[in-house]
Structure 1
Amino acid sequence: MKLCSIASGSSGNCIFAGSETTSLLIDAGISGKRVEAGLAVLDRSAKELDGILVTHEHSDHIQGLGVLARRYGIPIYATDGTIQAMQQTKSLGKFPEGIFHTIHADDTFTLGDIAVHPFTISHDAAEPVGYRMESGGKSIAIATDLGVYSDYTVQNLTGLDAVLLEANHDENMLAVGPYPYPLKQRIAGAKGHLSNLAAGHLLCEILHDNLQEVLLGHLSKENNYEALAFETVACEVTTGDNPYHSGDFHLAVAKRSEVSPLIEV
């Protein structure tokens, strides 16, 4: 399995996941041009994509979706609630007939040689999901845009070889930052975003001997920065109630506008 962040952050998200024979995008929250440029870095092209998996309908996850759908006819997979919300988003334009494929949380489906398992996440969107993908005995997952996590979340992230995990904000930076109070409440709330600290706690619960790669993503531009996210999560792992240290696996931060190194497990 392969995993790469083409863009990750509060201003746009697009993740590549695939195998030797199957290529998928998770979200397309950047321009079609940037998606194409990111895929080119990976020696892939949009024409080859077997599908786009959409987590939810917020603009930082779907901005380039209409362009890609019309230009390449790539099948789009999302929950019914997300599809309906996207169809009502005028900025995306008109979608080609039959391009949407409805999926359901906890119902695994197959694209090429990849088994895709959507799971429910806690976020203020119509019907949002994260994704776990497995192929050839290896598994990866995308878990961002979740205000809180539960035992159900942990179950869906158990036994992974690689994960892209949200570390959206530093709690103190958010508290004293420039955002209006209602927005601060939304971000820190149960349907908002995971803090660095919460990401560290969740990671402690899903760590196991074969988890090789952890990529921290969806960092806020105003309420976080890379070194702080990295150090907070690493410290939580090393000092937490688990047998692991942060040096036991590869930990990195997905950049806002740069393609991350390709992760292969």
Structure 2
Amino acid sequence: MRLCSIASGSSGNCIYTGGEHTHLLVDTGISKKRVEEGLKALDIKGEELSGILITHEHIDHVQGLGVFSRKYEVPIYATKGTIEGIKKISSIGKMPEGLFHEIQTDETFTLGELKVEPFKISHDANEPSGYRIGDGKKSVAVATDLGKYDDYTVEHLKNLDAIVLEANHDLKMLEVGPYPYPLKRRVAGDKGHLSNELSGRLLCDILHDNLKHVVLGHLSKENNYEELAYETVKLEVTLGDNPYKGDDFPITVAKRSSVSEIIDL
């Protein structure tokens, strides 16, 4: 299996994952051109995609969906609430008939050789979901846009080989930053985004010897920066109630506007 962030941040998100024969995108929150450039770096064409998994209907996750889908007609998988939300966004435009496939959280489905497990996340959207994807030997997950996590979240993220995990903001930067107060409350709330500290604590709960790659994603442009997210998460692991140190695992930060390292499992 492979995992690669084509773009990740508060301004646009698109993650690739796939096996030998099955290629998937998680979200298309950037332009069609940028999605195509990212796929080209992976030596994949748009028409070779088996599906697009959408986490939720916010524009930084679906911005390019309409244009991309009209060109390539790739099947789109999302919860009922997310599909309804997408259909209300005028900028998406009219979607080709039959592209949307309704899925349910906690109900696994198969695409090619891959099993996809959607799981609930806590975010201020209609019916948002994270995704765990595996080929029977290796498994990866995309877990962003969650204001909080609990035992249910941890259970769905155990025994992974790689993960894209949200480290959205630094609490102090958010407090003194330019956002209006209601937006600050939303970001830091239970249906907002994971802070660097919470990201590190969640990581502590899912670490195991075979976790090979941790990619920190969905960083806020205004309330975080790469080095701070990286160092804070590492410190949480080192100080946490677990047998590991922050340097025991390869932790990278997904690039906002360019393709990140291609992880080959």
Q: TM-score range by the shorter chain?
A: over 0.9
Displacement of 1:239 after TM fit? Answer: 1.4
Displacement of 1:249 after TM fit? Answer: 1.4
Displacement of 1:189 after TM fit? Answer: 0.1
Q: CA deviation digits over 1:112-151, x for unaligned, max 9?
A: 1000000000000000000000104111000000000000
Measured in 1, the distance between the counterparts of 2:87 and 2:258 equals 29
Measured in 1, the distance between the counterparts of 2:175 and 2:90 equals 34
Specify the alignment match of 2:40 in structure 1: 40
Q: CA deviation digits over 1:53-89, x for unaligned, max 9?
A: 0000000000000011110110000000000110111
Specify the alignment match of 2:31 in structure 1: 31
Measured in 2, the distance between the counterparts of 1:168 and 1:55 equals 16
Measured in 1, the distance between the counterparts of 2:158 and 2:37 equals 33
Displacement of 1:228 after TM fit? Answer: 0.0
Aligned residue identity for 1:69? S
Measured in 2, the distance between the counterparts of 1:230 and 1:125 equals 27
Q: Which moved more, 1:130-139 or 1:196-205?
A: 130-139
Aligned residue identity for 2:247? G
Number of residue-to-residue matches in the alignment: 265
Measured in 2, the distance between the counterparts of 1:45 and 1:231 equals 36
Which stretches of structure 1, 4 residues or longer, exceed 2 Å deviation after superposition?
none
Specify the alignment match of 1:13 in structure 2: 13
Measured in 1, the distance between the counterparts of 2:96 and 2:255 equals 32
Displacement of 1:247 after TM fit? Answer: 1.8
Displacement of 1:241 after TM fit? Answer: 0.8
Unaligned 5+ runs, structure 2: none
Instruction: Kindly indicate whether residue 232 of structure 2 is the aligned counterpart of residue 222 of structure 1.
Output: no
Specify the alignment match of 2:69 in structure 1: 69
Q: CA deviation digits over 1:7-31, x for unaligned, max 9?
A: 0000000000001111000000000
Specify the alignment match of 2:239 in structure 1: 239
Measured in 1, the distance between the counterparts of 2:238 and 2:25 equals 32
Measured in 2, the distance between the counterparts of 1:158 and 1:261 equals 23
Measured in 2, the distance between the counterparts of 1:228 and 1:249 equals 17
Measured in 2, the distance between the counterparts of 1:88 and 1:227 equals 37
Specify the alignment match of 2:51 in structure 1: 51
Q: Secondary structure of 2:140's match?
A: strand
Q: Which moved more, 1:103-112 or 1:132-141?
A: 132-141
Q: Secondary structure of 1:11's match?
A: coil
Instruction: Kindly indicate whether residue 109 of structure 2 is the aligned counterpart of residue 126 of structure 1.
Output: no
Specify the alignment match of 1:81 in structure 2: 81
Specify the alignment match of 1:249 in structure 2: 249
Measured in 2, the distance between the counterparts of 1:122 and 1:83 equals 17
Q: Secondary structure of 1:95's match?
A: coil
Unaligned 5+ runs, structure 1: none
Q: TM-score, normalised by structure 1?
A: 0.99
Specify the alignment match of 2:196 in structure 1: 196
Measured in 2, the distance between the counterparts of 1:258 and 1:37 equals 9
| Cα-Cα RMSD | 0.5
Specify the alignment match of 1:170 in structure 2: 170
Q: TM-score, normalised by structure 2?
A: 0.99
Aligned residue identity for 1:99? L
Specify the alignment match of 1:209 in structure 2: 209
Instruction: Kindly indicate whether residue 118 of structure 2 is the aligned counterpart of residue 114 of structure 1.
Output: no
Percent sequence identity is 66
